[in-house]
Chain A
Amino acid sequence: MSALMSLERFAVIVDAYGADPRRWPAAERDAAQSFAAADARAAVLLAEALALDASLDALPIPEPAGAVLRRAAMPLPVTAHSSRWQELLVLLGGWRLALPAMAVALIVGINVGSHADLSNWSADAASQTQAASASSNTLAAPGFAESLMLDLESSTP
């Protein structure tokens, strides 16, 4: 069998694929292993390749994908091939950047919006309440907004 494998070809295989026969080309694996067993020159080549293999194996195996990434890898369930939102997400830097950015924007928006709306709303509601009470002059119990306004007015210095 070793006659099918030259030293030159064996050297090319070990140089490219390393010392572990499992990584050698399937079609030449048997011949190369026979050559290695029969020819003393093969041992030198294998020892050199084995040292590099051992160094490369010092690199830790990356962790498997987590649940968040598995979900992020799935298409959005809008329509079969409509994924403009997902494209936008990738353009924004992926879920890792886009989600925190959207969360911050939402919080800032709510804060700004609620302050702005409350002051406008309180002014509007106060004038409406005053107008309503002036025009109808009824003694009906105030609604929730009206009672809130009355509270606000009573607490105003």
Chain B
Amino acid sequence: MMALLSPPAFDDADLADVVLAGAGDRLAFARIVGRNIDALIRFAERMLGSRAEAEDVVQDVFLRAWKQTANWRSGEARFSTWLHRVAMSRCIDRVRGRRETSLDDISLLASSDMPPDHGLQQQSVALRVQLALAGLAERQRAAVILCHYEEMTNIEAAATLEISVDALESLLARGRRALRAALLPERQSLIGDLT
């Protein structure tokens, strides 16, 4: 049941289509998919280091989103924030599932999809960065991806992670420090490769 008693405190580009999709409008839902799918696939692929797994996660997110539209309560968060939240949760489940089934992230990442036009040196640098990201705690990784790569505002990222902005800054700082430490021995090499 949809209740729009007061306008939300923020703009939500998806809100009108969420209302329509909640009443069964598939075209409205297609617009929601179109607006959000690329950001979600980027986020999931960086979280998981695997395109195939990221696509499965995104498909699952939209399946859940279709059901959620009928029950969506506006004003609490943007719909896109909620989509990212679900994607993050699914990604974390998969990362933990890999550990439980003793599949290590390293082997998966080593075979991850690098664009063929990425030069060997660039691939090597990118792989080192990806491994460093994979070594972070899941929520630190999510925070870095949301703020650095997706360039979410601190308020959006904190809402996605369901934490305060102070807690987000703490997660980010710890994550970036860990990344710096992981990449420090190769800093010169990285700089050399990139120049």
Contacts and interface: CB of A to CB of B under 8 A. Distances in A.
Interface of A: 12-13, 15-18, 22-23, 25-26, 48-49, 51-56, 58-65, 69-70, 72-75, 77, 79-81, 83, 86-87, 90, 93-96
Contact of A65 (B38, B46, B70, B144): B38
B46 A59 contact: yes
Contacts of B125: 55, 58
Contacts of B23: 80
Interface of A is mostly: helix
24 contacts: A16-B170, A23-B151, A25-B153, A48-B180, A54-B190, A55-B129, A55-B183, A55-B190, A58-B190, A61-B42, A62-B41, A63-B51, A69-B55, A70-B37, A73-B62, A74-B33, A75-B26, A75-B63, A81-B67, A83-B63, A83-B67, A87-B63, A95-B59, A96-B56
B66 A94 contact: no
B123 to A, nearest CB: 9
Given A12-B173, A52-B183, A75-B66, A69 B41 contact: yes
Nearest to B195: A54
B145 to A, nearest CB: 10
B33 A73 contact: yes
Nearest to B62: A73
A70 B60 CA distance: 12
B169 A90 contact: no
Interface of B is mostly: helix
Contacts, number: 136
Contacts of B122: 58, 60
Interface of B: 23-24, 26, 29-30, 33-34, 37-38, 41-42, 45-46, 51-52, 54-56, 58-60, 62-63, 66-67, 70, 114-115, 118, 122, 125-126, 129-130, 133, 144, 147-149, 151, 153-154, 165, 168-170, 172-173, 176-177, 179-180, 183, 187, 190-191, 194
Contacts of B67: 81, 83
A72 B45 CA distance: 17
Contact of A69 (B59, B118, B154): B59
